[in-house]
Amino acid sequence: GLELSHCVGTNSLGPAGPWRSGGPCKMKRVRTVFKPEQLERLEQEFLKQQYMVGTERVDLAATLHLTETQVKVWFQNRRIKWRKQSMEQKAAKLSQFGVIQPASADSTDSKDHQEDTVDVEL
């Protein structure tokens, strides 16, 4: 879930604090590990639609016992993965026909790409 781990870099003398020379306590977010059933349902929904918003997202999160933010970030990361796979398939097809694609070519819309580059794991 959305748990925060204890202070990063603590030692055996006790917890780190802002008064210590080590600086303030830095909290690290714990990565969400999705259950296979949750992933299967998320993938099914992604096949239907790649953008999950509003009440649909709230309902799906409740059904899967996840937070709305976890569902939102999963969809963002899944869209990035989908685009990457699409680009790789396109490049493979072009290479089959001997067409060489420049490495800097990027056909994604900059607005969509910017929105979806959120690489947050909850």
**Domain contains 12:** no
**Domain contains 117:** no
pLDDT of residue 21: 53
CA angle 38, 44, 46 (to 5 degrees): 100
Residues of the chain scoring pLDDT < 50: 10-20, 105, 108-117, 121
pLDDT of residue 96: 83
**Domain contains 50:** yes
Helix (H, G, I), strand (E, B) or coil at 34: coil
**Domain contains 85:** yes
**Quick check: 108 and 83 in contact, CB under 8 A?**
yes
pLDDT of residue 24: 65
**Domain contains 66:** yes
Q: Would you mind telling me the total number of residues written for the chain in this entry?
A: 122
Domain that holds residue 89: 36-94
**Domain contains 74:** yes
Characterize 5-22 residue by residue with b for buried, 16 or more Cβ atoms within 10 angstroms of its Cβ, and e for exposed: eebeeeeeeeebeeeeee
pLDDT digits (tens, 9 = 90+) for 5-26: 555 554 444 444 444 455 567 7
**Domain contains 111:** no
Number of structural domains (the chain) is 1
**Domain contains 45:** yes
CATH number at residue 75: 1.10.10.60
